[in-house]
Amino acid sequence: MGTLVGIFGTTHNPLLWRTLQGDVADDLRATKASFMEFRDRVAGARPDVILVVATDHLTQWFDDNMPAFLVGRSELIPATFPNEEREFGIPVDMLPGDLGLARDILTGGLERGVDFSSSREFRADHSVYLPYAFLCPDKDIPVVPVFTNAIAPPFPPARRFVEVGRALRAAIEASPLDRRVVIVASGHLATEVGGPRQFQGAPDPSFDEQAVRWVADGDVEAMLAELTPARMLAAGNVTAQFLNFLVAVGAAEGRPAVHAAGVRSRFASSPFFAWDPPEVRP
């Protein structure tokens, strides 16, 4: 049987790839330290598979053909698009996958009311690669990506992300494969890309503070009430990627996080969330 051994949430800001290498600037030290702490947390969970809940950034799907939720099924996962290598220095890579667990998540989700799309031909962009590479630097643990639409309106409602998280947990636990699984949700706090508030730090600190408090308190109802498209857009034009963390909230069954922080830097604040490992069901 599959076992969920850890649930985490973190940023995938591509500007961090170069800036966190080697010695870092003073304002980025806390961000790097947070990644190092979470690297240790993930290693301590001893996962066989890392399931990354991520967003495709209009690189292989667009608003005329955007799946709401998609399971990537492949034994080998190509990573990084040419623009990401060119602009951010992120390396082109090939990641190990777990076709068997991906299949069980797809079928298990369908049995629990989540009509996942699926693909055998896809590429992982920085939303998968950055959290995976920072938290698993040897890149030797198989990864299963679950892509969400938190980039191209209309978005699924916040409640649906929570429901998908619950279904993912149930599908993992129902899998006949003996896998220890860590879920890593990949997203943002308030963030602006290409708009007037880009490169001006956190575009909406009040949203960041409120969002971190929701996660820390396990206040699911507040998240469902407040995370409307209009509120997220007002916080920053790609803030909707915070919805990916609601998948982690659902997998954690709405329990308060044991670690919830928005780490400030020259970039938008970086989220770092962690929940205690769930109790193993009989």
Least confident of 55-64, 195-204, 225-234, 266-275: 195-204
pTM for the full model? 0.95
H or E segment at 272? Answer: strand 270-275
- Position 7 in a domain: yes
- Position 280 in a domain: no
At residue 194, does pLDDT exceed 80? no
Given a contact cutoff of 8 angstroms between Cβ atoms, the answer to whether 175 and 2 are in contact is yes
Tell me the residue range of the domain where 37 lies: 3-275
Closest by Cα among 198, 194, 143, 185 to 6:
185
197 falls in which pLDDT band (50, 70, 90)? low
Number of structural domains, the chain? 1
The two structure tokens encoding residue 178: 């003996």
Closest by Cα among 106, 98, 103, 270 to 188:
270
- Position 282 in a domain: no
- Position 281 in a domain: no
- Position 73 in a domain: yes
Say how far apart CA 237 and CA 192 lie, in whole Å: 5
Q: What pLDDT score was predicted for residue 199?
A: 61
- Position 29 in a domain: yes
Q: Could you give the percent of the chain with pLDDT greater than 70?
A: 95
User: Cα Rg for the chain, rounded, in angstroms?
Assistant: 17
Q: What pLDDT score was predicted for residue 200?
A: 67
- Position 112 in a domain: yes
The two structure tokens encoding residue 216: 């820390």
- Position 83 in a domain: yes
The domain that holds 226 is classified in CATH as 3.40.830.10
Sheet strand arrangement including 49-55: 117-119, 69-72, 143-148, 49-55, 180-187, 3-11, 270-275, 259-263
Q: What pLDDT score was predicted for residue 201?
A: 66
Residue-wise pLDDT for 10-32, tens only, equals: 999 999 999 999 899 999 999 99
Residue-wise pLDDT for 213-228, tens only, equals: 999 999 999 999 999 9
Q: What pLDDT score was predicted for residue 196?
A: 64
Say how far apart CA 7 and CA 236 lie, in whole Å: 26
Q: Mean per-residue pLDDT for 149-174?
A: 96
To 5 degrees, how large is the angle CA 192–CA 148–CA 250?
100
282 falls in which pLDDT band (50, 70, 90)? very low
